[in-house]
Amino acid sequence: MNPNKVVSFLNPRRFPLHSETALQDAMFEELKKGGFRPQREVRLSKSDVIDLVVGDVGIECKVKKNWSKNEILKQLERYCAHRRIRSIILATNIPMALPLWIQNKPAHFLNLARTWL
């Protein structure tokens, strides 16, 4: 799956930002409506469960809480270490810089706050 296609599809849409569960639910439904085949809460290992997967593209949803940017990046690094994930999208309203590559896999930032401005 082309991660740019997923980002381009999700980018103009508004998603609820009051909870991560609401965000995940809404994103899952939008992806299904768009003809994608998303999977929810995909177990990558005993300790790693990513929010959404579309093909081999992992999507991690974060709503501003007490997450540090460093914690988020470490989580994405763990997910990218798995073979099943070939690229990753961080969908969040948390302003932060994201490297272009994580564990030698393309990383994409989906700014969810932008559509609410």
* Residue ranges of domains in the chain: 3-109
Is pLDDT of 30 > 80?
A: yes
**pLDDT tier at 117 (50, 70, 90 boundaries)?**
low
Is pLDDT of 66 > 80?
A: no
Is the separation of the CB atoms in 87 and 33 below 8 Å?
no
Is pLDDT of 116 > 70?
A: yes
pTM of the model: 0.94
